[in-house]
C-alpha cells in the first residue's frame, strides 16, 4: 500500500519541481518568438489550465504509457527512453568491470607488497584515477588513443554495422552476441573501450584502497599464519584464503561505486558522444525539455523506491529478526 | 596443489585467448581502415586561413603535428562525407522547424523550394520552378500582386511519386493551416492571400499586398519547402495547430539527398538520391550530432570528420593542423547586437538596476552606448578577427546595405561621456543589467559592453546576467521584457525588409514590444519609409529608401551592433567543392556540392 502512495507522492513532487524550474515549454521557445506565439504554445500544452488539471493531463498520460514528447530527441519519450537507458547501462556495467578488475587487481598487488616500492607505485596509479577530473582525463584519452594513435573510435558504433543487426535488448554487445555477428561484437567492444576505461579508472581508486587495506588486515590474521605454517605456497595463501576474505568489505564498496559510475556517465557520454541517458538529460536540462526531465526524474525516483523495497526484503531474508509488515 | 595448478593454467589460457582476440580485432580494424585508402587529395596539405574583413593570409604548412594519424594522401571514408554538427534538430518538418535551428540544415539538403539562393551571393536561381518570376518575364503581374511559378516536370519525390503543382499548393497551404508558433509560418501567412493550381505544372500565388521582398523572404525560406502530398496524407495529414509526428522525423522531398536514418543523439544519415532531376550528389552524408567543440576539433584532426561546425573561438585550436583547411571569408548576415528596451514597466527590472523606465527614450543615451562600445576588442578578440565592425541594420551582403551610411565602428569614450553628461547620467552614474545566453559570443559581447561602459568616468555599473538558452528565450519572449538590455543575434534573412520590419519598424514585431515609438524622434517617418521600401519594385528607388533609413537610424539607434560575425569553418583538405553561402541555413553548406 505504501509503495503506490510513495510513487504518487514522488510524481506530484516531480511535476511541481518542473513547474518551478523554468518554463515548461522552454525547448520550444526561441529568442525570435513574440508573446502571441508563446501564448499559442502555452495553450497547446495546457499551461493556461490550473496546475492540478495540468497534473491530471500529465499523470493520465504516464498511466497510459505516454510520457510526452521529447523536444531534444524529436520523438516520444517512451520511444527513446529504453534505447538511451540500455546505452547507459552498457557503459556503466563495462566501466564497473574495468573498475573492479583494476581495483581488485591493484589492491591485491599492493596489499601483498605492503610498504614496498610496488605498493607505493600502485597506490599512486590508483589514486591518480580519482584525482584527475573526468572531463580532462577523457579528453586526454581521446587525444592519445583516437587522434594520436587512431586505435579507438569515438561514439557508440559504426552506424552501418549497428544497423546490420537486430537490437532486441538495446545492449549493443549483447545484441551482437545474440545475432552471432563477430563484426558487430568487435565494433561494440572497440567503441566501448575508451569510455569504459576512462570512467572505470576513476572508480578504481576507492576499490583498490579498500582491497589493499582489507588484504593487509587479513594477511595479519592467525589463519594466514596457520596456512603458511602448514607449508602452503604464499601465492595460494593469498589467493585461496586472504584475498577471498578481503573481498567481503570490498564488494560493499563496489556496490556503492556503481552509483558513482552512473553519475560519471553524464560527463563520459557528453565527451565520448555516447548516446545514453546522461547526455540526453544534460541536453534536456540545458534546452528546457521538461517532458524528458520529468520522465527521467520519475524513472529514477521510482527505481530508487523499488531498490529500497528489494533491500528491505533481502534484509528480512538475511536477518530473521527483521519482520516485514509488523 | 594440483587444483591450483589447473586453475592457474586455465586462467593463463583464458588470458591468452582474450589477448589474441583483442589483437585480432585490432588488426582487423586496421585492415578495414587501410582498405579504404584511395588516391591522394588534390589540395595538398597546406592549411589556409583567410582573415575576416577581407584580408586573406596564408599560413605555412604545419611543422610537426605528430598527432595526425592519416598519412598524406590517405582519405578516410572516401565514399562518405561526415559532418560534425552542434545541436540535434528539434524537427525535420519544414512546417515545424524553427528558423536558425539544426533541422534547417537537413531540410536544405533533402527538400527543395521553388527558388533557391544561388551558390554565389544572394541571387535567386530556379529550383522546382523553372524560372525566377519577374515583371519582365510576365510571371509577376503588373500590380505586383500575382506570382506565377512554372513547375519543373520530371521531378520525383524520394517515395517515387511525381511532383506536380498540387504538391506545391499542398505544401504551402499545409504550413499556413498548421501555423505552428515555433515555425516560420508567418513568412507565408503574413503575405500570401491565396494559392491555386492553374494546371499540373503551373502554380499561382496572390499576395495580400505587393511586396518586393516576397521571393527573397518567403519563397526561398525553409518553411516553404515542397513536401510530398501523398506521404503526408498517408501519415496523419494536416491538422490545424498541431504538428505531424511522422514529418517531425521523416522526410519525403525531392532533393539530391534522401534521409535514411536519424539515430537520436548520434547521427543523421542521408544517401544520394539516384532519381534526382539535377546534378546528382557525389557522396553519402552522415551528420554526427552533439559533439562538443573540443571533440569536433579533435575529430577533424583525426580525419574522422570531413567538415565541422565552427566559430572563431575554434580557430586557435585548429590553426596549423596538418591536412585541415580553415575557411574565413565573407560575413554571416546575423548581426550580434545589444537591444535597448524602451518599454520598461515600473518595478520589473532586476534588483540593483537604478535606471528610470524611460532611460532609453533619450536618443543621447542610446548614442552614448554606441560610442562607448569597444568594437575593435570584440571583433579582434571574441571574433578572432573573423568579422567586421562596420555593420549596419541591414548587414553587409544584403541588398540595400549602404556602405556610405554612417556607422558606429570605433569607440569614442569622450563623446559617450559628453552625451551621458548632457542626458544627466554622468558623473552620478547608474546600474543596469544586460541579459544574455551563457557561454557563447553573446555573453562575450555583453562583457565587452560592461568593460566599455564601466571605464567611463561616470560611475556606471553593468551587470551581465548570463543564463541558459532556454531561460534567455523565455525572458526575451515576454511582453513587455523585464530587462533593459539583452544581447543576441538577428535571424538571417535574404531581403532587407525582413530586418527592417521585424527589428526596426515602430509598429513591427519587435518595435511594438520594445516601445520604439517612445524613442524615435519621428516614428511615423521610420514606419512609412520601411513600408514604402517593401512595395517599391524599382531596385534603385528601393535602395535609396534603405539608405535614407540607415542614415536616420544612425542618429536614432535602437540597437548597438557589436559586430558582424565572419563565416568560419574548417574542413579536411581532401574535401573538394566546399562552398559556403551565409544565406543558407547554418552551417551554410550544401553537401551535394562536395566530393572527396
Alpha helices in A180-232 (DSSP H): 182-218, 222-229
Average pLDDT over residues B461-469: 92
Q: Which three cell numbers stand for residue A315?
A: 534484509
**Interchain proximity B90–A286, CB inside 8 Å:** no
**pLDDT top residue among B319 and B286:** B286
Q: Both B430 and B348 in a single domain?
A: yes
What is the span of the domain harbouring residue B474? 335-565
Please check the confidence at residue A70 and state whether its pLDDT lies above 60. Answer: yes
User: Is B1 part of a structural domain of the chain?
Assistant: no
Instruction: Report chain B residues whose CB lies below 8 A from the CB of A151.
Output: 26
What pLDDT, on the 0 to 100 scale, is given for residue B65?
36
Instruction: Report chain A residues whose CB lies below 8 A from the CB of B262.
Output: 74
CA distance B245 to chain A (A): 8
What pLDDT, on the 0 to 100 scale, is given for residue B16?
56
Q: Both B156 and B287 in a single domain?
A: no
Q: Both B276 and B247 in a single domain?
A: no
What pLDDT, on the 0 to 100 scale, is given for residue B505?
94
DSSP B350-372: PTT----TTGGGSHHHHHHHHHH
Domain edge (last residue) among B195, B226, B251: B251
Q: Both B81 and B104 in a single domain?
A: no
Using a CB–CB cutoff of 8 Å, tell me whether B229 touches chain A.
no
- CATH label of the domain that carries residue B552: 3.10.105.10
The residue whose grid cell reads 576499490 is A207
For residue range B201-215, what is the model confidence (pLDDT) as tens digits? 999 999 999 998 899
Domain edge (last residue) among B235, B251, B267: B251
Alpha helices in B292-379 (DSSP H): 293-302, 315-318, 363-372, 375-377
User: Is B139 part of a structural domain of the chain?
Assistant: yes
Domain edge (last residue) among B213, B229, B251: B251
**Side-chain-facing half-sphere of B389: CA atoms under 13 Å:** 22
Give the nearest partner residue to A32 out of B295, B479, B491, using CB atoms.
B491
Q: Both B376 and B509 in a single domain?
A: yes
List the end-to-end C-alpha distance of chain B, in Å, as a whole number: 64
How far apart CA A186 and CA A190 sit, in angstroms, is: 6
User: Is B592 part of a structural domain of the chain?
Assistant: yes
How far apart CA B299 and CA B39 sit, in angstroms, is: 21
Task: Give the model's confidence band at B1: pLDDT under 50 very low, under 70 low, under 90 confident, else very high.
Answer: very low
Average pLDDT over residues A303-307: 77
Q: Please, what is the average pLDDT of chain A? A: 85
User: Is B443 part of a structural domain of the chain?
Assistant: yes
What pLDDT, on the 0 to 100 scale, is given for residue B17?
56
Average pLDDT over residues A239-243: 83
Q: Both B243 and B272 in a single domain?
A: no
User: Is B45 part of a structural domain of the chain?
Assistant: no
Using a CB–CB cutoff of 8 Å, tell me whether B295 touches chain A.
yes
What pLDDT, on the 0 to 100 scale, is given for residue A190?
96
Average pLDDT over residues B5-31: 50
Q: Both B448 and B469 in a single domain?
A: yes
**Interchain proximity B469–A40, CB inside 8 Å:** no
Please check the confidence at residue A22 and state whether its pLDDT lies above 70. Answer: no
For residue range A176-190, what is the model confidence (pLDDT) as tens digits? 999 999 999 999 999
Q: Both B236 and B113 in a single domain?
A: yes
Q: Which of residues 381-420 of B touch A (CB under 8 A)?
A: none
- CATH label of the domain that carries residue B63: 3.40.190.10
DSSP A148-178: IS--S-SSS--HHHHHTS--SSS-HHHHHHH
Using a CB–CB cutoff of 8 Å, tell me whether B248 touches chain A.
yes
Instruction: Report chain B residues whose CB lies below 8 A from the CB of A76.
Output: 245
What pLDDT, on the 0 to 100 scale, is given for residue B537?
83
Instruction: Report chain A residues whose CB lies below 8 A from the CB of B98.
Output: 30, 32
Using a CB–CB cutoff of 8 Å, tell me whether B26 touches chain A.
yes
For residue range B78-136, what is the model confidence (pLDDT) as tens digits? 999 999 998 889 899 999 998 888 899 999 999 999 999 998 778 899 999 999 999 99
Average pLDDT over residues B481-496: 91
Using a CB–CB cutoff of 8 Å, tell me whether B88 touches chain A.
yes
Please check the confidence at residue A32 and state whether its pLDDT lies above 60. Answer: yes
Question: Which among A40-44, A111-115, A209-213, B449-453 has the top mean pLDDT?
Answer: B449-453
Q: Both B144 and B184 in a single domain?
A: yes
**Interchain proximity B488–A73, CB inside 8 Å:** no
- CATH label of the domain that carries residue B134: 3.90.76.10
Instruction: Report chain B residues whose CB lies below 8 A from the CB of A186.
Output: 25, 28-29
Q: Please, what is the average pLDDT of chain B? A: 86
Q: Which three cell numbers stand for residue A36?
A: 502571441
For residue range B523-563, what is the model confidence (pLDDT) as tens digits? 999 999 999 999 888 889 999 999 999 999 999 999 999 99
Give the residue from chain B lying closest to A235, CA to CA. Answer: B4
What pLDDT, on the 0 to 100 scale, is given for residue B11?
54
Q: Both B448 and B509 in a single domain?
A: yes
CA distance B262 to chain A (A): 10
**Interchain proximity B265–A40, CB inside 8 Å:** no
Using a CB–CB cutoff of 8 Å, tell me whether B293 touches chain A.
no
Domain count within chain B: 3
User: Is B29 part of a structural domain of the chain?
Assistant: no
What pLDDT, on the 0 to 100 scale, is given for residue B499?
92
The answer to whether residues B268 and A113 touch, using CB atoms and an 8 Å cutoff, is no
CA distance B582 to chain A (A): 19
For residue range B409-443, what is the model confidence (pLDDT) as tens digits? 889 999 999 999 999 999 999 999 999 998 788 99
Task: Give the model's confidence band at B61: pLDDT under 50 very low, under 70 low, under 90 confident, else very high.
Answer: very low
User: Is B40 part of a structural domain of the chain?
Assistant: no
Q: Both B124 and B211 in a single domain?
A: yes
Q: Which three cell numbers stand for residue B29?
A: 580494424
What pLDDT, on the 0 to 100 scale, is given for residue B542?
94
User: Is B4 part of a structural domain of the chain?
Assistant: no
Q: What is the pTM of this model?
A: 0.80
CA distance B37 to chain A (A): 15
For residue range B146-199, what is the model confidence (pLDDT) as tens digits? 999 999 999 999 999 999 999 999 999 999 999 988 888 989 999 999 999 999
Q: Both B155 and B286 in a single domain?
A: no
The answer to whether residues B488 and B496 touch, using CB atoms and an 8 Å cutoff, is no
**Interchain proximity A275–B470, CB inside 8 Å:** no
Amino acid at each position: 500500500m505504501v509503495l503506490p502512495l510513495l510513487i504518487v507522492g514522488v510524481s506530484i513532487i516531480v511535476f511541481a519541481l518542473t513547474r518551478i524550474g523554468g518554463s515548461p515549454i522552454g525547448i520550444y521557445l526561441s529568442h525570435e518568438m513574440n508573446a502571441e506565439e508563446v501564448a499559442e504554445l502555452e495553450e497547446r500544452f495546457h499551461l493556461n489550465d490550473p496546475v492540478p488539471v495540468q497534473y491530471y493531463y500529465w499523470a493520465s498520460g504516464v498511466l497510459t504509457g505516454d510520457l510526452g514528447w521529447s523536444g531534444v530527441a524529436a520523438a516520444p519519450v517512451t520511444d527513446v527512453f529504453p534505447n538511451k537507458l540500455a546505452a547507459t547501462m552498457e557503459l556503466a556495467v563495462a566501466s564497473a568491470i574495468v573498475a573492479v578488475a583494476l581495483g581488485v587487481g591493484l589492491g591485491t598487488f599492493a596489499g601483498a607488497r605492503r610498504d614496498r616500492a610496488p605498493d607505493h607505485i600502485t597506490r599512486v596509479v590508483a589514486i591518480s584515477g580519482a584525482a584527475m577530473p573526468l572531463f580532462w582525463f577523457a579528453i586526454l584519452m581521446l587525444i592519445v588513443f583516437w587522434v594520436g594513435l587512431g586505435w579507438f573510435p569515438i561514439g557508440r558504433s559504426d552506424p552501418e554495422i549497428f544497423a546490420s543487426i537486430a537490437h532486441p535488448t538495446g545492449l549493443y554487445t549483447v545484441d551482437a552476441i545474440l545475432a552471432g555477428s563477430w563484426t558487430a561484437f568487435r565494433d561494440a567492444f572497440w567503441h566501448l573501450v575508451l569510455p569504459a576505461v576512462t570512467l572505470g579508472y576513476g572508480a578504481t581508486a576507492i576499490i583498490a584502497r579498500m582491497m589493499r587495506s582489507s588484504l593487509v588486515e587479513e594477511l595479519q590474521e592467525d589463519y594466514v599464519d596457520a596456512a603458511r605454517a602448514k607449508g602452503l605456497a604464499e601465492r595460494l595463501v593469498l589467493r585461496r584464503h586472504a584475498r577471498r576474505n578481503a573481498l567481503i568489505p570490498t564488494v560493499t564498496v563496489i556496490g556503492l561505486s556503481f552509483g558513482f559510475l552512473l553519475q560519471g556517465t553524464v560527463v563520459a557520454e557528453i565527451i565520448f558522444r555516447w548516446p545514453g541517458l546522461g547526455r540526453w538529460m544534460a541536453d534536456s536540462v540545458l534546452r528546457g525539455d521538461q517532458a524528458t526531465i520529468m520522465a527521467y526524474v520519475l524513472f529514477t525516483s521510482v527505481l530508487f523506491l523499488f531498490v529500497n523495497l528489494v533491500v528491505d526484503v533481502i534484509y528480512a531474508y538475511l536477518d530473521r529478526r527483521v519482520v516485514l509488515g509488523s | 596443489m594440483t587444483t591450483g595448478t589447473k586453475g592457474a593454467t586455465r586462467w593463463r589460457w583464458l588470458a591468452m585467448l582474450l589477448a589474441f582476440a583483442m589483437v585480432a580485432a585490432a588488426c582487423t580494424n586496421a585492415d578495414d581502415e587501410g582498405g579504404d585508402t584511395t588516391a591522394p587529395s588534390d589540395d595538398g596539405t597546406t592549411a589556409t586561413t583567410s582573415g575576416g574583413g577581407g584580408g586573406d593570409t596564408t599560413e605555412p604548412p604545419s611543422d610537426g603535428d605528430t598527432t595526425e594519424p592519416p598519412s598524406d594522401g590517405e582519405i578516410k571514408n572516401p565514399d562518405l562525407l561526415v559532418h560534425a554538427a552542434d545541436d540535434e534538430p528539434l524537427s525535420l518538418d519544414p512546417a515545424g522547424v524553427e528558423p536558425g535551428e539544426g533541422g534547417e540544415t537537413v531540410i536544405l539538403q533533402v527538400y527543395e523550394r521553388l527558388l533557391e539562393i544561388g551558390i554565389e551571393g544572394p541571387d535567386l536561381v530556379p529550383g522546382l520552378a523553372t524560372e525566377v518570376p519577374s515583371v519582365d518575364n510576365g510571371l509577376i503581374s503588373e500590380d505586383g500582386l500575382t506570382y506565377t511559378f512554372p513547375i519543373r516536370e520530371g521531378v520525383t519525390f524520394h517515395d517515387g511519386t511525381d511532383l506536380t503543382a498540387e504538391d506545391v499548393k499542398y505544401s504551402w497551404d499545409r504550413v499556413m493551416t498548421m501555423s505552428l508558433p515555433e515555425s516560420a509560418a508567418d513568412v507565408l501567412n503574413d503575405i500570401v492571400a491565396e494559392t491555386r493550381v492553374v494546371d499540373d505544372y503551373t502554380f499561382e500565388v496572390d499576395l495580400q499586398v505587393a511586396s518586393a521582398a516576397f521571393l527573397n523572404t518567403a519563397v526561398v525560406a525553409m518553411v516553404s519547402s515542397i513536401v510530398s502530398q501523398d506521404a503526408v496524407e498517408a501519415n496523419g495529414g494536416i491538422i490545424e495547430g498541431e504538428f505531424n509526428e511522422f514529418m517531425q522525423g521523416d522526410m519525403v522531398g525531392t532533393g539530391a539527398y534522401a534521409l535514411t536514418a536519424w539515430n537520436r543523439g548520434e547521427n543523421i544519415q542521408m544517401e544520394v538520391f539516384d532519381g534526382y532531376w539535377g546534378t546528382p550528389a557525389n557522396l553519402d552524408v552522415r551528420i554526427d550530432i552533439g559533439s562538443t567543440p573540443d571533440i569536433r576539433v579533435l575529430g577533424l584532426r583525426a580525419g574522422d570528420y570531413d567538415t565541422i561546425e565552427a566559430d572563431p573561438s575554434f580557430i586557435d585550436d585548429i590553426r596549423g593542423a596538418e591536412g585541415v583547411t580553415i575557411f574565413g571569408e565573407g560575413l554571416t548576415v546575423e548581426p550580434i547586437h545589444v537591444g535597448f528596451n524602451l518599454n520598461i514597466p515600473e518595478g520589473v527590472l532586476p534588483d540593483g538596476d537604478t535606471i528610470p523606465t524611460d532611460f532609453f527614450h533619450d536618443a543621447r543615451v542610446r548614442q552614448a552606448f554606441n560610442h562607448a562600445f569597444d568594437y575593435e576588442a570584440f571583433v579582434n578578440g571574441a571574433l578572432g578577427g573573423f568579422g567586421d565592425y562596420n555593420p549596419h541594420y541591414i548587414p553587409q551582403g544584403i541588398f540595400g546595405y549602404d556602405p556610405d551610411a554612417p556607422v558606429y565602428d570605433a569607440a569614442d569614450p569622450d563623446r559617450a561621456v559628453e552625451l551621458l553628461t548632457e542626458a544627466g547620467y554622468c558623473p552620478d552614474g547608474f546600474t543596469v543589467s544586460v541579459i544574455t545566453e551563457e557561454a557563447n559570443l553573446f555573453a562575450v559581447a555583453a562583457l565587452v559592453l560592461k568593460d566599455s561602459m564601466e571605464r567611463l568616468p561616470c560611475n556606471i555599473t553593468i551587470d551581465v546576467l548570463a543564463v541558459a538558452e532556454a531561460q534567455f528565450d523565455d525572458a526575451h519572449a515576454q511582453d513587455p521584457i523585464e530587462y533593459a538590455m539583452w544581447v543576441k543575434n538577428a535571424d538571417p534573412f535574404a531581403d532587407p525588409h525582413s530586418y527592417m520590419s521585424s527589428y526596426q519598424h515602430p509598429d513591427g514585431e519587435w518595435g511594438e514590444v520594445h516601445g520604439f515609438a517612445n524613442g524615435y524622434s519621428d516614428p511615423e517617418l521610420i514606419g512609412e519609409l520601411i513600408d514604402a521600401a517593401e512595395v517599391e519594385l524599382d531596385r534603385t528607388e528601393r535602395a535609396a529608401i534603405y539608405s535614407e533609413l540607415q542614415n536616420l537610424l544612425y542618429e536614432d539607434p535602437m540597437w548597438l551592433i557589436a559586430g558582424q560575425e565572419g563565416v568560419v569553418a574548417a574542413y579536411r583538405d581532401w574535401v573538394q567543392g566546399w562552398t559556403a553561402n551565409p544565406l543558407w541555413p547554418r552551417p551554410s553548406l550544401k553537401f551535394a556540392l562536395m566530393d572527396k
